[in-house]
Chain A
């Protein structure tokens, strides 16, 4: 695999690391009892703690701690029995405390790793440096008024897990696959809702370029990207920008960048003068967070089957390829749907690959076209199973099955109903097929002549004509066989 970018003078390699911010799926905030509900009216879910009124003290949410531990286990990471909350100090209008409570020296979760799977069957491990708990800030609206910024503190104090990767990523695609994998793990664990549009999952991207084999170059950080598409675009643009500077003899200035989603360009966020000095120190309002081995053990035992385990199970049980299995397990709803479909009829276990194809290509494309989600698919797993069984038992052809699926999708009827009502059963009667072929041969003497003179391509024409007469219902293999037989006899 070639991951390099062609430059003027030589090839360049990207070195990418991600900091992912995942909102913990909880009812209340990390240090207060305010609701975390998304989309409520501004400042309606702000306690005196969140607004940093004098004298207010934070009390940690036990559930959020458990979710962070759970996520750490899902990332194959070391859980730290002892961690400390620090204050990260900076001034901003949507940060009433003047500091963010975060974890600096002693995070709750240490080193881990996740695996990403490529289409060609290979895979790669991306190492995780750490996961720590921290508070989210409020939301600022800058574009509503020429001289004012509006601030909504509903998000202020909501629990975030920051997941930091090693700079093991080398391409925009790998970055996309990595964040998809993290999202998938979070959603299986149910520790984050994974909703990137609502900002429940967002990422900062660190990127530098180098000659392959060289030391890491100076990096820039692109802040706050909330879609995989934007992450890839931003990386591509930023890498090109850095290569252009380096090739024209310049050097990269370490900078924090913002990505403009409408122009597709990055630009520096702050000038150097305002470079951050966060003055981290342990928060005197909070004791160190200690978790016993027993508590960790209890959380570990509550963890559901994760995508990688499920993937291996699918490969082993159904002999699926690594890639097929990873597509199926990328989202919990997909693996659930597959499980329900394949278990709806014992016969289907022998046709796992067909089941995968019908879910991931035919059904997915219909859902996409209709802007619908697998969760509320009009075709239930049982009904799809029934359709696939009709194909596997040769009752209908794969081609007709596609039409049947579309019909099922819009009418809500079962495959059986549709096939019976429309009389779509495949014609597998030798005599009947032979009769149709005779008809086609008799009606097209010139074509037959040309075919016999060596124009092999015309076979397709005869197949097409015969299919047309049977309304697509003839068993394709039988049709082909009988047609060849009959034409060759003419010779």
Chain B
């Protein structure tokens, strides 16, 4: 698999990152070298090897269904660039 200009533009747009031409070129180079490096794994013979789903052998920790009754409003909105009556205010997202 090779990353080309179209792919890098698509990834950038999906990630909401703006890239100039120079940056695009750099990322194409970087990502391709990462992919090439990972491709080397194809050389290993994995026949009769069970797929490893997780490197940790621990079990997913679970919590009890207890809610904390703190009012988070002030703390949560502290860093918001814009807010109104307890709401985050963001640029309008529908027409």
Contact = CB atoms under 8 A, between A and B. Distances in A.
Interface in B39-66: 53-54, 56, 58-66
Contacts of B92: 142, 145-149
Interface string A443-478: 000000000000000000000000000000000000
B86 A43 contact: yes
19 contacts: A28-B65, A33-B66, A33-B67, A34-B67, A43-B88, A46-B73, A61-B63, A62-B64, A84-B53, A91-B16, A148-B84, A148-B90, A148-B91, A148-B92, A149-B89, A149-B94, A152-B86, A152-B88, A287-B59
A290 B60 contact: yes
B6 interface: no
A44 B86 contact: yes
Contact of A35 (B63, B68, B76, B86): B68
A36 interface: yes
Interface string A138-150: 0011100111111
Nearest to B53: A288
Contacts of B84: 145, 148, 150
Interface of B: 10, 14, 16, 53-54, 56, 58-69, 71-73, 76-77, 82, 84-94
Given A43-B72, A51-B76, A289-B60, A148 B89 contact: yes
Interface of A: 26-28, 33-36, 41-47, 51, 59-65, 84, 89, 91-93, 140-142, 145-153, 277, 279, 286-290
A256 to B, nearest CB: 14
Interface of B is mostly: loop
A132 to B, nearest CB: 16
A27 B65 CA distance: 6
A31 to B, nearest CB: 9
Nearest to B62: A62
B67 A151 contact: no
A46 B73 CA distance: 7
Given A33-B67, A51-B76, A62-B65, 11 more contacts: A33-B68, A43-B73, A59-B61, A59-B63, A60-B60, A60-B63, A145-B89, A150-B88, A151-B88, A151-B89, A152-B86
Nearest to B64: A62
A21 B76 CA distance: 27
Nearest to A279: B14
B72 A44 contact: yes
B66 A142 contact: no
B93 A142 contact: yes
A420 to B, nearest CB: 52
B87 A151 contact: yes
A142 to B, nearest CB: 5
Given A44-B71, A91-B16, A33 B89 contact: no
A219 to B, nearest CB: 24
A231 B84 CA distance: 34
A65 B62 contact: yes
